[in-house]
């Protein structure tokens, strides 16, 4: 029987979402001869009973397929609002669209909401993890993470040369409110001297001693500090009841102020907050590949009528795990005793007092 399947993207956007859409449409059309419709703006589209026709042909007059390298999502996305308050309208909308199954691409927050709706409405749901934070549990990789890491590494490269030219401590604030994967991966890959993440406590003394040692022992007059937006205040300020939350003041500026006040030498600091630049850009080859494998495998799961599953990247391949298991274990945080933190310590990167 010819199926009609829907696909939506939910939560914060990231590079690689259009690659999933492309793979789903191609495989569902060519292999199974199904119809695929896009749901615009995630649950908002369901509520408004709207669909976007998706076809493997006709993206471009010359035959170029822009979905392979276009950032963002052609379906639009939402990442706020009390969706569950409108649950009954959304369930009615889903029924009206006559879908046989739904593929939802989202982070742990939006997948949780969609999974709850799917349970209420008995939807045939397959989930695909995406988030530049890479904090969805049970998967080594979520779509968007690799591109964001590359974007940050590129920024670190650029900032290193200007920092070195002016003997400055350059502080680079990156995304990651609860998980430090982005800061840790990009900091190691970019050659940072300091990496501060929510999962690992640090002290300003430890940080300043490290910068002093860089200068006095190794004659390095500049330094690169990567700080996650959700890195905690230093231990001393936590004990003093620091009230500076990430929504009130940037962690990058906080660290710059602390560094400036901890040395008798004048330390010239500059702060770059990368912000949503990290969510944009052309998807990396790895993100395209993972997105394509996820999209293709999601269609196959529907063909096998295996629902309530999330695709996960484990040992270099896509496997299906129960959505609920992934949600129960999310967010997946950096292990302070884990290999990458140990590697950072071994390389002489300050990431917290040893
Ligand atoms: O969840 C991904 C994320 O990029 C976070 O790292 C960041 O704090 C947040 O989204 C920003 O979201 P918004 O688009 O709502 O500003």
pLDDT in tens, 181-233: 999 999 999 999 999 999 999 999 999 999 999 999 999 999 999 999 999 87
The confidence score (pLDDT) of residue 83 equals 83
Q: Which atom of ligand 1 is nearest to the CA of 13?
A: 14
How much of the chain is in helix, strand and coil states, percent to nearest 5?
Answer: 45, 15, 40
The phi and psi torsions of 4 (rounded to 5 degrees) equal: -120, 110
Query: What angle, 0 to 180 degrees and rounded to 10, lies between the N-to-C axes of helices 181-190 and 145-165?
Result: 50
Query: Which of the two residues, 261 and 175, has the higher pLDDT score?
Result: 175
Q: Give tens-digit pLDDT for 262-305.
A: 766 778 999 999 999 999 999 999 999 999 999 999 999 999 99
In angstroms, the CA 135 to CA 145 distance is 10
C-alpha to C-alpha distances, 159 to 208, 219, 222, 282, nearest whole angstrom: 20, 19, 11, 21
Q: Give tens-digit pLDDT for 102-126.
A: 999 999 999 999 999 999 999 999 9
Q: What is the mean pLDDT of residues 64-82?
A: 90
Q: Which atom of ligand 1 is nearest to the CA of 176?
A: 6
Nearest alpha-carbon partner for 75 in 5, 6, 8: 8
Report how far ligand 1's centroid is from the alpha carbon of 228 (Å): 12
Residues whose CB falls within 8 Å of the CB of residue 237, separated by 6 or more in sequence, listed in order: 244
Is pLDDT at 239 greater than 70 in this prediction?
no
* H-only helix segments in the chain: 17-32, 43-47, 87-97, 108-121, 145-165, 181-190, 204-218, 235-239, 251-262, 285-303, 323-329, 339-346
305, two tokens: 């009528």
Instruction: Confirm whether 60 is a catalytic residue.
Output: no
Q: What is the mean pLDDT of residues 151-172?
A: 98
Query: In which residue are the tokens 């003041």 written?
Result: 249
Rg of the chain taking only CA atoms, in angstroms: 22
Q: What is the mean pLDDT of residues 250-272?
A: 88
Report how far ligand 1's centroid is from the alpha carbon of 229 (Å): 10
Residues whose CB falls within 8 Å of the CB of residue 15, separated by 6 or more in sequence, listed in order: 71, 72, 143, 144, 147, 148, 279, 280, 281, 282, 283, 284, 287
Residue of 13, 133, 146, 193 marked active site: 133
C-alpha to C-alpha distances, 99 to 234, 294, 332, nearest whole angstrom: 51, 20, 32
The confidence score (pLDDT) of residue 246 equals 43
The confidence score (pLDDT) of residue 63 equals 76
Q: Residues with beta carbon inside 6 Å of ligand 1?
A: 12, 79, 107, 131-133, 175-177, 229, 279
Ligand 1 pocket: which of 80, 129, 177 to mutate (most atoms <8 Å of CB)? Answer: 177
In angstroms, the CA 294 to CA 310 distance is 9
pTM of the model: 0.95
Q: What is the mean pLDDT of residues 64-71?
A: 90
Report how far ligand 1's centroid is from the alpha carbon of 144 (Å): 12
Ligand 1 pocket: which of 107, 133, 274 to mutate (most atoms <8 Å of CB)? Answer: 133
In angstroms, the CA 88 to CA 70 distance is 34
* 67 strand-pairing partners: none
Is pLDDT at 237 greater than 80 in this prediction?
no
In angstroms, the CA 95 to CA 297 distance is 25
Q: Which atom of ligand 1 is nearest to the CA of 11?
A: 1
């Amino acid at each position: 029987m010819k199926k009609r399947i829907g696909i939506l993207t939910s939560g914060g956007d990231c590079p690689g979402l259009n690659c999933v859409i492309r793979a789903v449409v191609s495989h569902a059309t060519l292999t199974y001869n199904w119809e695929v419709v896009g749901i615009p703006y995630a649950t908002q589209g369901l509520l408004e009973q709207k669909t976007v026709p998706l076809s493997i042909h006709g993206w471009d007059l010359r035959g170029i397929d822009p979905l392979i390298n276009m950032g963002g999502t052609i379906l639009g996305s939402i990442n706020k609002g009390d969706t569950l308050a409108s649950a009954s309208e959304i369930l009615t909308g889903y029924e009206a669209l006559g879908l046989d199954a739904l593929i939802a691409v989202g982070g742990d927050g939006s997948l949780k909401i969609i999974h709850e709706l799917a349970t209420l409405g008995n939807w045939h749901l397959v989930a695909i993890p995406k988030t530049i934070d890479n904090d969805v549990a049970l998967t080594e990789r979520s779509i968007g993470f690799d591109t964001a890491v590359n974007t940050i590494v590129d920024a670190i490269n650029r900032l290193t040369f200007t920092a070195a030219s002016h003997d400055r401590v350059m502080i680079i604030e990156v995304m990651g409110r609860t998980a430090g994967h982005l800061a840790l991966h990009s900091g190691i890959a970019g050659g940072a001297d300091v990496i501060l993440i929510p999962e690992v406590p640090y002290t300003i003394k430890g940080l300043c001693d490290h910068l002093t040692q860089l200068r006095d022992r190794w004659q390095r007059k500049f330094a690169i500090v990567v700080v996650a937006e959700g890195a905690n205040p230093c231990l001393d300020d936590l004990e003093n009841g620091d009230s500076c939350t990430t929504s009130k003041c940037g962690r990058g500026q906080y660290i710059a102020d602390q560094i400036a006040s901890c040395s008798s030498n004048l330390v010239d600091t500059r702060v770059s907050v990368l912000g949503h630049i990290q969510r944009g850009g052309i998807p990396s080859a790895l993100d395209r590949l993972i997105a394509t494998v996820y999209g293709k495998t999601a269609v196959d799961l529907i063909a096998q009528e295996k629902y309530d599953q999330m695709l996960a990247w484990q040992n270099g391949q896509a496997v299906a795990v129960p959505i609920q298991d992934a949600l129960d274990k999310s967010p997946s945080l950096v292990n302070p005793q884990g290999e990458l933190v140990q590697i950072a310590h071994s390389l002489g990167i300050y990431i917290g007092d040893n």
